[in-house]
Amino acid sequence: EIVMAQSPATLSVSPGDRATLSCRASQTINRDLAWYQQKPGQAPRLLIYAASTRATGVPARFSGSGSGTEFTLTISSLQSEDFAVYYCQEYNNWPSLTFGGGTKVEIK
């Protein structure tokens, strides 16, 4: 079983600042990684897949990088609507899928 670890658990950021979120896999997953954004009371929304490909309609301020076991989601200039919880998900072990524990991005 692949374990996905996200850090930090909570990130306090001022609007307009850059946010960097990390996701680590317990074994190599190549680039088989997606990122999701979830706002309170809403379903998650796909942001990034294949480690760095933005999903349709996702603003360019969201970018993903990494391969193997270490991955990063960067939000270049935080907007008010970006304060949310972010989850990474591996799919290297399909048909099994595993999510990380999430990072909450809150207003500083």
Site membership for another protein, residue 102 (CB under 8 A)? yes
Which DSSP state fits 104? E
Give 10-69 as a DSSP string. Answer: EEEE-TTS-EEEEEEESS--TT-EEEEEE-TTS--EEEEETTTEEPTT--TTEEEEEETT
* Minimum separation from the CB atom of position 67 to another protein (A): 16
* Minimum separation from the CB atom of position 91 to another protein (A): 4
* Binding to another protein in span 63-92, by CB under 8 A: 87, 89, 91
One-letter amino acid at 99 equals F
Size of the site for another protein (CB under 8 A): 22
Whether the Cβ atoms of residue 105 and residue 83 lie closer than 8 Å to each other: yes
Site membership for another protein, residue 99 (CB under 8 A)? yes
Site membership for another protein, residue 94 (CB under 8 A)? yes
Q: Give the residues lining the site for another protein (CB under 8 A).
A: 34, 36, 42-46, 49-50, 55, 87, 89, 91, 94-102
